[in-house]
Every structure is written in C-alpha cells, then in structure tokens.
C-alpha cells in the first residue's frame, strides 16, 4: 500500500548566501555635495546707486530744482487768497485815473490837425517903386490837389498879383480862374504846387444844426494860421456888406472868433470837414473887429463857384 507523503512541520533553514564582494570604494565618510560655481563678486545695491548718481549728477540737480520750483508754486497757489471780483466801481476808477494821467486832445484840436495842411495864406500884392508891397492878407483853402484854392472875392479884388503860401512854407504865384460875386467867392490856381498837397474834405450843410461845434481857421490880422472855436448860431442868414454893398443870402451864422484876415478861410466841423467859407463879420461900429457874429458861405455854394458839386 502506497504511503502518502509526509511533510515535515519544521521550518527549513535556508542556506546562507555568500556575501557579494563589492568593488573597492573610498572609505565611507560624511557625504559631500559637489561644489557650486561662485560668481565673481558684484557691487552692492548702495554702490550701484552711488555710481549712477555720480554719472548723472547735473541732470539730477536740474530735476530736483524743477520739482522744488513746481512744489513752491503749487504751495503758493494753494494758500493764495481767491481773486477779488472786479466791480463797476473799480472800472470807473481805472477810467478816471487814465483820464487824469493821460490828457487827450480836444475835439477842436483834432479838427484843426486834420484841416491845417489844406489852409493857405493869401496875399494881395502891388508893385511899387520900392518893390512889391503886400496890400492885404486873407485866407484860402485847397479843395483840389491840383492847387485849386477857394477864397473870398474881396480878398483878391483889385490885386495886381496874388501870392499864396502853403502850410509847408512853399510860396507860389496864383491866378484867379473863377469868380462868384453873389457869394463873395473867388477861385485861385497856384502855379507852384507842393509835393503831397492835401485838399480839404468838403461836407454838406444839410445835416448842420444850431449848436453844432465848429472852428474857424485863418490868418486874423495876418497872424497864423490861427484857430478859434464856437458853435453854429443860425442858418440861412442874410447879410449886406457895408464896403461892397453886396447882399449875401443863405449864410451860416457862427460865433467862433473871426477878424480881418480870416476871410476866405474854412469853417470846419469837429470831424475836420469844411462846411463853409468864412466871408464876413457883423459889427455895427467902424472898428471891423469881431463882436460875436460871423458869417460863412455854405460849401455847396462855394463848390458851385468852380462848376462842380462836392457831393
């Protein structure tokens, strides 16, 4: 009878393995890590800042100055009190101060400045044994730049020769080229004409009113050119000359001082425009001096003496 195999219950000892022979190594010791590569020494952050400051010293100083200035301005603006609002009283005070410290020329002075380059002295000349003698002085005004001059007929009446003296001192012989006895007017043509001769500006009398300011420019008693100021005293006046027995009508009455020598001169508005030709003064006595009433021929009549209308 076949016997079943019996299995031992004891633990079987394993045969010990032979020790493995390791290759020879260095004696064991503390483990060391491979040495790291140490970079070359670098300057510290403080050193780099100093180097940057040294290289850009001027730029940094300028930037610092700008920043400081901006800061000061900003601070001053922050603490500056708000601007005071300008009132009408302030404006009025400034205007009065300007007027007090800067004297402006008067309207009469401006008018004279405009017209004076066109005013001429008119001489009535007579030849005598001793030479030429001036027998009378009046005034004229240039109305055309070709040397055409308006004056009074009685200024040149009976003259052997007529001379004119322009504003720049130029002297010239003149001939009478037109007469208008009914308005006591004469038209002269100068033979010698100054350079840049300025004719006067003529203005219609249609809008003249009593009370309007005017000046009379001329050579009273041969002195001048002189200016006197006044107003329009009346319109459409009539006057009869005691010397020439002529009745003049449609005259402008004014109170600006006029005397012998003013005859033939312009009556001028404050705009410097000629509205009449001074022709007579009213004086009941025989003194032939101004007592407050003068007359001028309207410029419309004066212009018609040369056959043109100025308007």
Residue pLDDT, tens place only, 270-289: 999 999 999 998 887 777 78
Q: What angle do CA 292, 296, 302 make, to 5 degrees?
A: 170
Catalytic residues: 154, 184, 263
d(CA 155, CA 33): 136
Domain boundaries, the chain: 113-304
CA quadruple 301, 303, 306, 308: dihedral positive or negative? negative
> Distances from the Cα of 172 to the Cαs of 156, 191, 248, in angstroms?
15, 6, 30
Could you tell me the pTM of the whole model? Answer: 0.67
Token pair of 156, please?
């040149």
Residue pLDDT, tens place only, 108-143: 999 999 999 999 999 999 888 777 888 889 999 999
| Mean pLDDT along residues 133-161 | 92
DSSP 3-state of 276: strand
Residue pLDDT, tens place only, 38-59: 455 555 666 666 666 666 677 7
| Mean pLDDT along residues 203-213 | 94
Torsions phi, psi for 278 (to 5 deg)? -60, 130
For 229, what's the count of Cα atoms within 13 Å in the CB-facing half-sphere? 11
Which of 144, 139, 129 minimizes the C-alpha distance to 166?
139
The helix-helix angle for 57-79 and 45-55 (nearest 10°) equals 80
Q: Which CATH class is domain 113-304?
A: mainly beta
């Amino acid at each position: 009878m076949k016997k079943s195999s019996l299995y031992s219950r004891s633990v079987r000892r394993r045969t010990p393995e032979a020790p493995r022979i390791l290759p020879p190594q260095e004696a064991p010791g503390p483990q060391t890590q491979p040495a790291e590569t140490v970079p070359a020494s670098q300057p510290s952050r403080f050193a780099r800042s100093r180097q940057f400051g040294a290289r850009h010293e001027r730029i940094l100083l300028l930037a610092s100055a700008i920043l400081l200035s901006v800061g000061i301005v900003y601070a001053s603006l922050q603490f500056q009190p708000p601007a005071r609002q300008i009132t009408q009283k302030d404006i009025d005070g400034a205007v009065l101060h300007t007027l007090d410290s800067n004297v402006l020329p008067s309207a009469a002075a401006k008018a004279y400045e405009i017209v004076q380059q066109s005013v001429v002295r008119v001489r009535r000349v007579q030849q005598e044994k001793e030479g030429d003698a001036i027998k009378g002085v009046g005034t004229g005004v240039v109305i055309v730049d070709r040397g055409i001059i308006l004056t009074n007929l009685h200024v040149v009446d009976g003259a052997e020769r007529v001379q004119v003296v322009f504003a720049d001192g130029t002297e010239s012989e003149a001939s009478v080229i037109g007469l208008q006895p009914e308005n006591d007017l004469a038209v002269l043509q100068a033979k010698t004409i100054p350079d840049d001769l300025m004719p006067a500006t003529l203005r219609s009398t249609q809008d003249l009113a009593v009370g309007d300011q005017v000046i009379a420019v001329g050579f009273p008693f041969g002195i001048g050119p002189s200016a006197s100021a006044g107003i329009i005293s009346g319109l459409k006046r009539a006057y009869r000359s005691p010397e020439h027995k002529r009745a003049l009508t449609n005259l402008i009455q004014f109170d600006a001082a006029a005397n012998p020598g003013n005859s033939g001169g312009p009556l001028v508005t404050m705009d410097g425009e000629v509205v009449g030709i001074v022709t007579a003064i009213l004086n009941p006595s025989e003194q032939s001096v101004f007592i407050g009433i003068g007359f001028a021929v309207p410029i419309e009549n004066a212009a018609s003496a040369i056959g043109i209308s100025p308007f």
